[in-house]
Amino acid sequence: MFRNALSQELNTNVFAQLIQDEPSGSSSDSSIEPEPSKGAIPKVSESAKSANNTTSDRTVPRDVPLVVLPPMKYLFTNPFLNEVELAFHTALSYADKDLQNRALAVIPKLKLENNAQNRLRKLQETAKEAKVSDFDYTLDDFLLPEVLDWFKNEFFKWVDSPDCQYCNGNTFFAHMSDDPSLLIHTNRVEMHKCHSCHRLTPFPRYNDVNILLLTRCGRCGEWANTFTLICCAMGWDARLIVDQTDHVWTEVFMHSQKRWLHCDPCENVCDTPLMYENGWGKQVSYVIAYSSEEVQDVTWRYSSNHKTVLRRRTKCTEKELVDALIKLRNERQRSSSKARVDYLTKRVLLELVELMCEKKASDKEKQGRTSGSELWRLMRGEIQPKIDSYVFVFKGNETETVRYSAALDKYECAKKDGSVSSVNGWHAGAFNMTGIFRKEEKDWKMVYLARAEGTDFGVISWKFEVEDATQVIDVVDVKLEHKLYENGKVEVTIESNATTIKMPENTVEFRTTAVSGSRFIVITARLSGGKGDVAWQHAQLFRQTSSSSDFAFIVKCSFKPVH
């Protein structure tokens, strides 16, 4: 039945081408080239264009204008198809150029492009060294994860319950409001009660992306709605993905790969579509994609058991759904250029062929949360293509200290005379490293080193060497702060040319003369253990507040003459 429905849409498109959430909480057709879209789009009034785009609190001016959509006329009587019609109509807002310009104004595009360019160059170097001949990634392949990471960690804020507007205390959901004075620009306002003062704080659930650019907070609905607009403002074809089991995310069409990529801004993950069914345990039924130009049933991308999904789809017949989607698409594209319609038709055909293939979940998609492939982690900076094997060189005629601050992300080399030199970047001072990254928790304002998500362990080492041939290391003092949760483990060793010793478990400060007489030492930390989806987070190095000026890693060496 499923394949018959898809085949019907395939045949219909070929013919056409020939004739023309709640409070509880890959084708090789190189002939396809994008064409600029045309057609009716919504408008934002002049006052919206000049509105303050840096507002980040919950207060929205009463007179803030909303995105104005063209009049809507329902074509169907089925309630589910009416929901599809309404969501497709609302997606027109993503095409508004004034709104896209407002979104573009809040994106640090140059910074993100520079980061992406640096990662692209590094991967190109690695591919060249490995003699990889089929390297076909573009800047956009690296820019998308940069935008995703910026959105998650810097731009948008998750809100389960807002802070109390009276005492700033913690609140919990109490009920939905029916107060007309609160129902402004939305018909859904949650009331949250303070644990301390017991007063109520409203939390409006906005759908208008013009307002969401101001408030910059919410749950998955607000996150995905705004992120889809951000992607459109970046010049990408993007669409909002609505799952009937109460989750929302985004898809972005990547021209280098000629396919749609799943992007979940709430989780900061890309191209792991089966994680909802296999990792989260969701029983998907209808997953529909909405853009200003297209509406598509993409359920089959998000399930590895199509027959079981079909049994859950009871809101309408498969033929009714296919016919409705084709009718809505054709109606929307009537004002588009022939070149654009031809391009979109070819793209739909290729996607339908892709959706007919039932895929199996990877191990990472079964974990519930994943950082994707090794290339994906490389793009995010969670692994490095190569490292320069930095060595801290001691003169050897006095006590010298090397220290690192995760908050400052800087090493300092301090001499006895008070002079200090520095090395910027945690990886810039490392001698060797595998699967380690620097994690910034924007919400908790904490920073630390951890192993990359989806890995069993991470290793980082630092090398210290005596320059003076007449001197050797005598005494080594190490301070290495770390945090453990669940059964997370940090194992630290100090190695010389003659011996290797282990720091005792749960030790922060350690002094040893076991390496006395050595010309160099290598200090290595191995992170492992942990439980569940966030096991990687259960062993942390140098955890400290983002505003701290302390040094959580200190190595002090004294020296003696060679005997």
415 confidence band (pLDDT: 50, 70, 90): confident
Known active-site residue 198:
no
Name 493's bridge partners.
502, 524
Residue 140: phi, psi to the nearest 5? -60, -30
Catalytic residue among 220, 231, 232, 557, which?
Answer: 220
Burial class of 467 by CB neighbour count within 10 A (0 to 12, 13 to 18, 19+): exposed
103 confidence band (pLDDT: 50, 70, 90): very high
The tokens describing 270, both together, are 């890309």
User: Residue 167: how many CA atoms within 13 Å on its side-chain side?
Assistant: 11
Helix then strand then coil, % of the chain, to nearest 5? 30, 25, 45
Catalytic residue among 89, 192, 247, 538, which?
Answer: 247
Which DSSP string corresponds to 491-557? EEEEE-SS-EEEPPTT-SEEEE-TTTT-SEEEEEEEEE---GGGGGGGEEEEEEETT----SEEEEE
Known active-site residue 164:
no
DSSP letter (8 states) at residue 154: I
Catalytic residue among 141, 264, 297, 323, which?
Answer: 264
β-pairing verdict for 471-480 and 482-484: unpaired
- Does position 11 have pLDDT exceeding 90, yes or no? no
d(C-alpha 105, C-alpha 112), whole Å: 13
Q: pTM for the full model?
A: 0.62
Of the candidates 307, 200, 297, 289, the residue with the CA atom closest to the CA atom of residue 252: 289
- Structural domains for the chain: 387-561 (2.60.120.1020)
Lowest mean pLDDT among 127-131, 234-238, 533-537: 127-131
Within 177-315, strands assigned E span: 189-194, 200-204, 217-218, 238-243, 247-254, 259-264, 269-270, 287-290, 295-297
Percent of the chain scoring above 70 in pLDDT: 83
Known active-site residue 220:
yes
* Cα angle value 466/467/473 (rounded, 5°): 20
The tokens describing 362, both together, are 């990877």
- Does position 430 have pLDDT exceeding 50, yes or no? yes
- Does position 485 have pLDDT exceeding 60, yes or no? yes
d(C-alpha 525, C-alpha 492), whole Å: 4
Residue 563, pLDDT score:
76
Contact 58, 217 (CB under 8 A): yes
pLDDT in tens, 507-527: 999 999 999 999 999 999 999
- Does position 222 have pLDDT exceeding 70, yes or no? yes
pLDDT in tens, 60-74: 777 776 888 999 999
* Cα angle value 416/418/421 (rounded, 5°): 100
The tokens describing 376, both together, are 């994906």
- Does position 28 have pLDDT exceeding 70, yes or no? no
- Does position 299 have pLDDT exceeding 60, yes or no? yes
State whether residue 387 is helix, strand or coil. coil
pLDDT in tens, 304-314: 999 999 999 99
132 confidence band (pLDDT: 50, 70, 90): low
Check residues 59 and 491 and name the one with the higher pLDDT.
491
